[in-house]
Chains A and B, each alone.
Chain A
Amino acid sequence: MWKILSFIMLFMLMLYGCLDKEIIDDVNLVMVIGYDVGEGNKIKGTIVAPEYKKEQPVDSKVMTVESDLSRDLISDLQKESPAPLVYGKLQFALYSEDVAKQGIEKYVDSLERDASVGSKVILAVCKGEAKNLLEGKYGQQGTATYFRNLVEHNMHRENLPIINLHTYLRNFRMKGKDPSLPLLEKKNDHVKITGLALFQKDKMVGEIENDQLFYFKLLSDRYVKGIHTITMDDGNKASIESIRSKRRANIDEKNPFHLTIELEIEGYLREYSEGTVRPEILKKAEKAFEKEIVKNSMEMIDMFKEKNIDPVGLGEEILSHSRGLRKVKNWRDIYSKMEVDVHADVKITETGVVQ
């Protein structure tokens, strides 16, 4: 009796291996997916899967297909692929400007729903066709790594706010904030970040240019590193790198819809066009920088309010400071009533190895 039972158990254990196997060498990893507007109501999808070859730079396999649903893309593409395509290592999702203007919710849904897609997938919008952008040959490590590195180092070391699938979904669903995604453009044989695409809900409604990104990140993220060049009153130019920044939001006690944002920036002087930096020049540079920050931030906020979008999360500041507001159905009503002031306080603490 026991012998038979243990035999049965042993066989069961063997059977347990009978699941669908996915061996990494035998599958094509979809690492980038791009969406364009297709004919009629269809979606035109382009995928990039790396092809590894011996002692050669990583080649990219690019495939395009049109289908009704985002998920159908993969199953339609399976028919053109010699090895099964799997989603497991998706790194980058690219939406063309036209798609973004129509709304990207239905495209993002398939990424969110899939348990095998991570939350760190980077989303981006591109000018022109996504297909056109993805067909290029970039870098030694393949298209996917190229795109990811391009955006990632700009997020962590430069002015691009930190964006991935998780933060996109969060900003999309959160009351008091709208999502924004990096905007890419093809430039000859490489890709350039040209700014930030601004969304209202899931529809792209505007964009900001690269030179505004620094101010954008000051307003939206808490800690900002970034270099910015300012022109002083006497026409001299100075390049200041922000090392640390702090953002504080204060609400007027009398008027709950009046928000004052205080920005504290600690920076190093990186370059000065007129030789020696004297303390009074430093003071002047600080003042000029403060003025510039306030001017640009206010301009940007006015533009946001005009478009009725809130990509830096000013609404969230109000919602988190006043009781009962989080339950409001339409937070945009509150947002349109808001008055915002920006104050900046710049301290330049170092001037490099020379005077």
Chain B
Amino acid sequence: MAQIAERHKVSAPLVFYLVHSTQFGIGVLGFQKNVVKYAGHDSWISVILIGLIVHLYIWMIYQILKRSSGSLMTLQHDLFGKWVGNGLNIVWIIYFFLGSCAILIGYIEILKVWMFEDLNIWIYTAIFMGLLYYIFNGGFRVVTGFAFFGVVLPLWIFLTFLIFPTRFADLQHLLPIMDHSPQEIFMGTMQMVITVIGFETLFLYYPFVKNIDKSQKWAHIGNLFTTCSYIIIMIVSIVYYSAEEEILRNKWATLAMWKIVELPFVERFEYIGIASWSLVILPNICVMLWSAKRGITEIFGITEKKVIISVLVVMFFIVNVIVDKEDIQLLNKIINMYALGIVFCYIPVLYLITFVRDLWKRRT
């Protein structure tokens, strides 16, 4: 594979923003429901667990890629040959692609339910596609720039989760700690998978990072930051709602917490919150879709422009077709399974394979 020119690369600390912005997205607004279903008021332990697991996976990804000559695509091609390797590559590309579609679909659903029920989806997506086209044309550096702004600019929203709901919070509801069995807490952890995925895009942008050895630290810090944010939001929602039934009833528990916010200059804070959230999901979609796009160019060697346009057109149609609540749920379920399979089961396998191959090479 051709070496990436130095001027297209980003510096190592920016990996922090790339990792965090892909993990922290649409899931934040309503991840509590699925976890609380299993782990109840101990859900925050499930969140800590998934954070630790992701740390392990980030470490594995770095180990895998250090033993390869480029990205995941070239690695799989080298390992499994042309047909199997490229087949696996396509599986990953579809995963990245569906993932980015699901984020946009989820956001549009929220826009419809919370703000404009008569939102014209195709106009909105068309404008969004235009924005994505502009970003992708700038290359990976622009994508990283958006990841940076997507993390820094909406950071203030975090305060609203801390200040307003805690006035009505009852810390007692966290007691007794570890009231649920380890199995139940682990089941909750499994439900967190779809919320924290995104870090695996590292597989694709790895060759685009300068001083790659220094970047691992930043990837871990990014994940730490994500985990802390999730823990805080989870604890605040448990103590704010107090009743598990309340959390289970709310499709978007985080969003519903904003209903308590009352400011003199704005009656309904959700409008500001949801609008700002488009900044959070933008890098999320960008990095995921960029990974899909990058994968396609690497395998097929087609020119970037053609790939960008075709990917955006397909995405445009998918987002406009899947509008039903049931379809959206199905899509999310598929992605959850997909992520469990190729992220959480396949990466350890890949790690073992590369590890054994490395040993083999050293011996001969």
Residues of A whose CB lies within 8 Å of any CB of B are 9, 12-13, 15-16, 18-20, 88-89, 115-120, 162, 166-167, 169-170, 172-175, 316-317, 320-324, 326-327
What's the Cα separation between A175 and B260 when bound, in Å? 22
Contact A19/B267 with A119-B259, A167-B168, A170-B243 known, Cβ cut-off 8 Å: no
Contact residues of B: prevailing secondary structure = helix
Give the residues in chain B near A116, CB-CB below 8 Å: 268
Instruction: Flag if A20 contacts B270 (CB, 8 Å).
Output: no
Interface residues of B in 253-277 (CB under 8 A from A): 256, 259-260, 262, 267-268, 270
Which residue on A lies nearest to B274, using beta carbons?
Answer: A115
Give the residues in chain A near B41, CB-CB below 8 Å: 326
Instruction: Flag if B249 contacts A173 (CB, 8 Å).
Output: yes
A13, A119, A326: which contacts B40 (Cβ < 8 A)?
Answer: A326
Q: Is B176 an interface residue (CB 8 A)?
A: yes
What's the Cα separation between A309 and B175 when bound, in Å? 22
Given A116-B268, A166-B259, A170-B168, 13 other A-B contacts at CB below 8 A?
A: A15-B120, A16-B127, A115-B113, A115-B114, A117-B259, A118-B260, A120-B259, A120-B260, A166-B168, A174-B243, A320-B175, A320-B176, A326-B176
Instruction: Flag if B120 contacts A118 (CB, 8 Å).
Output: no
Contact A15/B246 with A119-B260, A120-B260 known, Cβ cut-off 8 Å: no
Interface residues on B, range: 20 to 34
Instruction: Flag if A323 contacts B246 (CB, 8 Å).
Output: no
What's the Cα separation between A18 and B120 when bound, in Å? 9
Give the residues in chain B near A88, CB-CB below 8 Å: 267-268
Contact A169/B246 with A116-B268, A320-B172 known, Cβ cut-off 8 Å: yes
Contact A19/B242 with A9-B130, A88-B267, A326-B179 known, Cβ cut-off 8 Å: no
Q: Is B352 an interface residue (CB 8 A)?
A: no
Which residue on A lies nearest to B259, using beta carbons?
Answer: A119
What's the Cα separation between A121 and B113 when bound, in Å? 20
What's the Cα separation between A317 and B179 when bound, in Å? 15
User: Can you list 24 A-B pairs, Cβ within 8 angstroms, ordered by A?
Assistant: A9-B130, A12-B123, A15-B123, A19-B116, A20-B118, A88-B268, A118-B262, A119-B260, A120-B259, A162-B168, A169-B243, A169-B246, A170-B168, A170-B243, A172-B243, A174-B243, A174-B245, A174-B246, A175-B243, A320-B173, A320-B175, A321-B175, A326-B40, A327-B179
Q: Is B344 an interface residue (CB 8 A)?
A: no
What's the Cα separation between A196 and B162 when bound, in Å? 31
What's the Cα separation between A1 and B40 when bound, in Å? 57
What's the Cα separation between A115 and B252 when bound, in Å? 11
Contact A173/B246 with A12-B123, A12-B126, A18-B120 known, Cβ cut-off 8 Å: yes
Which residue on A lies nearest to B241, using beta carbons?
Answer: A170
Closest chain B CB from A100 CB (angstroms): 21
Q: Is B119 an interface residue (CB 8 A)?
A: yes
Closest chain A CB from B132 CB (angstroms): 13
Interface residues of B in 19-69 (CB under 8 A from A): 40-41
Instruction: Flag if B262 contacts A120 (CB, 8 Å).
Output: yes
Closest chain A CB from B41 CB (angstroms): 7
Give the residues in chain A near B270, CB-CB below 8 Å: 115
Closest chain B CB from A103 CB (angstroms): 17
Instruction: Flag if B268 contacts A118 (CB, 8 Å).
Output: yes
Contact A118/B259 with A12-B123, A16-B123 known, Cβ cut-off 8 Å: yes
What's the Cα separation between A174 and B120 when bound, in Å? 39
What's the Cα separation between A13 and B126 when bound, in Å? 10
Instruction: Flag if A321 contacts B176 (CB, 8 Å).
Output: yes
Give the residues in chain B near A324, CB-CB below 8 Å: 179
Closest chain A CB from B257 CB (angstroms): 8
Interface residues of B in 226-248 (CB under 8 A from A): 241-243, 245-246
Give the residues in chain A near B116, CB-CB below 8 Å: 19-20
Give the residues in chain B near A167, CB-CB below 8 Å: 168
What's the Cα separation between A20 and B296 when bound, in Å? 41
Which residue on A lies nearest to B115, using beta carbons?
Answer: A115
What's the Cα separation between A115 and B119 when bound, in Å? 15
Which residue on A lies nearest to B250, using beta carbons?
Answer: A112
Which residue on A lies nearest to B174, using beta carbons?
Answer: A320
What's the Cα separation between A15 and B256 when bound, in Å? 30
What's the Cα separation between A13 and B113 when bound, in Å? 22
Give the residues in chain B near A9, CB-CB below 8 Å: 127, 130
Instruction: Flag if B245 contacts A173 (CB, 8 Å).
Output: yes
What's the Cα separation between A19 and B115 when bound, in Å? 11
